Homo-oligomer: A and B are copies of this chain.
Amino acid sequence: MDERTMRDRILDAAEARARTSGYHGFSFRELADDVGVKSSSIHYHFPTKGDLGAALAKRYATRAGDYLGDPASVGPEEAVTRLTQLFRDALVRDDKMCLCGLFGAEHESLPPEVASATGDFFRLVLGYLTAAFGPRWAGEAPAAILARLEGALIIARALGDVNLFEVAAQGPSRGG
């Protein structure tokens, strides 16, 4: 049996489509077909597409935060390793974009509540790295690390070459 709530099943279907096509690239009808209900039932759980998009970004950020854990107890290297693995999972395990990377690229065309929740994801990750690095950190800036991972995902997927992600994710520290 499917133990997920209908709300979660809808969010799962929406996330899969949004991470492939973006906010403007999926419809309530498609989600309804994916889940096996009618589109009016989707509207019962999420009155508007903006509501759904915002819930999508919020759940995505919450899950990322849970995966990354407490920055105070991981240390700088482990923090970067965990974040890198989060993006590698998106590429290899899910074969999908980072939801908020794609929403971030569409930022100006999103309903305000979706744009806001997308921003929260980036603030969460930057805050995580900043906290894990501590005030004495002299290495690559949190924004540079996160940017590299978002971009690496795009390039690797656009060129169909997983290794390009590893090359880009490796960053400045090239063993040699």
**A residues in contact (CB < 8 Å) with B:** 20-25, 97, 100-109, 115, 118-119, 122-123, 138-141, 143-144, 146-152, 154-155, 157-160, 164, 167-174, 176
Contact = CB atoms under 8 A, between A and B. Distances in A.
A143 B169 CA distance: 9
Contact of A151 (B21, B147, B174): B147
A97 B109 CA distance: 11
Most chain B beta-carbon neighbours within 10 Å: one of A100, A138, A158, A176: A158
Give how many copies assemble into the complex. Answer: 2
A104 B174 contact: no
B157 A108 contact: yes
A102 B164 CA distance: 18
A171 B151 CA distance: 13
